[in-house]
Amino acid sequence: MIADTLVCILLVLGVAFGISLNFIGLFRLSLAESVVAGAALSLIAAWGIAWAVFISGAPLWGYALLPAVAAAGIALTAASRRGAAGILRDPGARDLVFGQLIVTGWCVGWLAFVRSHSGGAWTGDSYEHWERAHFFLRQWPGYRLFIDQFEMPARPPLANVLTAAFMQVTQLDYGHYQLISTVLASLAYLPVGLLAGRFGGQRAARIAAVLMMLNPLFLQNATYPWTKLLAVFFILTGLYFFLRVRDDDEASVRSAVICALCLAGAVVTHYSAGPYVATLALLWLAMGWERGWKAPYPVMTAVAVLSGACVLAPWFSSIVIFPSTSRRNTL
């Protein structure tokens, strides 16, 4: 059981860090920023791959592409100058990686004490996500009402698709569903540590890990199998790179793209991201007004919007796809 748990944890973290980490050097960020941006972009890429496998009708063994691509990315990164050795030498990146491992282990340890989930009025919400994970394992007809109320497009699907993909590679039981949900939720530490380091230095990033581990609200959300904390991960990562755009340096354009991708990822994860994304969008417009919409701000804005739209498109397209496919009974 312990070995199986460790394999599952390494699978999720490996995909989160592995898929795009080798390519994040294209954004020419600091190593600490690369760790967090790499995790966000890896999960967004994993969402795209898993969605393509599901919607295309390809065999579900295609979900194994996620760990395969991640393993290749990790191997290439380890061989590069900015690879594993570089991360371990960089104090900021090293603290984030080890802090994430500690926070994830702490959350999984508390999960071991959970005997049952009640959730009060949230019980149906939790059960609906369990049903949706199985839907993306093609265990339901194309048209169905989750908890007898909601159609598939009614909820943002990113976390459910990823959970289904990881379950397909491991085991299709509730224990693995809980574990995968908790590991994904624990990733909320990464942008918290990065933001703490920005404002308070390396020591603040370490303190942030301790405070999160001692925060009962964080632990409750991390050990309850739903999608909110993964949305928090994307929101806070988007916030960090929004601040990098405000720094108005040579990395601003690249930071704008990462910000847009992360905010779109948050929307495709949970509706609670909406107010935060709307607020940052208004601040973005205010920042453009402040700068007089001088170049390259208009082009940067257009590229950012297009990048975010690419992440949102699969979910929005499902509004059209699923009613028609259900009538033809093809799923």
For residues 36 and 238, the answer to whether their CB atoms sit within 8 Å is no
Rounded CA-CA distance 168/136 in Å is 10
pLDDT over 80 (residue 157): yes
Of 145-154, 181-190, 313-322, give the lowest mean pLDDT range.
Answer: 145-154
CB 9 within 8 A of CB 177: no
Confidence of residue 327 (pLDDT cuts 50, 70, 90): very low
Element (H, E) at 57: none
User: Would the pLDDT of 213 be above 80?
Assistant: yes
The string of DSSP codes covering 55-75 is: HHT--GGGGGHHHHHHHHHHH
Cα torsion at 229, 191, 111, 88 (round to 10°)?
150
Angle at 274 between CA 207 and CA 164, to 5 degrees: 80
pTM of the model: 0.92
Residue 40: predicted pLDDT: 96
DSSP, residue by residue, 126-189:
HHHHHHHHHHTTT-S-SS--BTTTB-GGGS--HHHHHHHHHHHHS--SHHHHHHHHHHHHHTTH
Taking only the tens place, the pLDDT of each residue in 252-293 is: 889 999 999 999 999 999 999 999 999 999 999 999 998 888
284 close to 301: Cβ distance less than 8 angstroms: yes
Q: What is the pLDDT of residues 94-122, one digit of tens each?
A: 999 999 999 999 999 999 988 776 656 65
What would the pLDDT profile of 115-127 be if each residue is shown by its tens digit? 776 656 656 677 7
Q: How confident is the model at residue 179 (pLDDT cuts 50, 70, 90)?
A: very high
In our burial notation (b when 16+ CB lie closer than 10 A, e otherwise), range 119-138 reads eeeeeebbebbbbbbbbbbe
Residue ranges per domain, the chain?
2-113+124-235
Cα distances (Å, whole numbers) of residue 247 to 191, 196, 230, 251, 310: 17, 17, 26, 9, 26
Candidates 243, 181, 185, 239; CA nearest to 212 is: 185
- The better pLDDT of the pair 205, 143 is held by 205
Average pLDDT, the chain: 87
Above 70 in pLDDT, residue 142? no
Direct distance between the N- and C-terminal alpha carbons of the chain, in angstroms, rounded to an integer: 34
Q: Which two tokens stand for residue 187?
A: 């990733």
Q: At what angle do helices 297-327 and 252-267 cross, to 10 degrees?
A: 20
**Each residue of 93-107: b (16+ CB within 10 Å) or e?**
bbbbbebbebbbebb
Q: What is the pLDDT, as a whole number, of residue 295?
A: 79
Helices 65-78 and 158-169 pack at an angle, to 10 degrees, of 90
pLDDT for residue 259: 96
Q: What is the pLDDT of residue 82?
A: 56
Helix (H, G, I), strand (E, B) or coil at 105: helix
The DSSP 8-state label assigned to residue 27 in this structure reads G
Q: Given pLDDT bands bounded at 50, 70 and 90, which one contains residue 159?
A: very high
Which of the four pLDDT bands, split at 50, 70 and 90, describes residue 27? confident
For the cut 50, the answer to whether the pLDDT of residue 294 exceeds it is yes
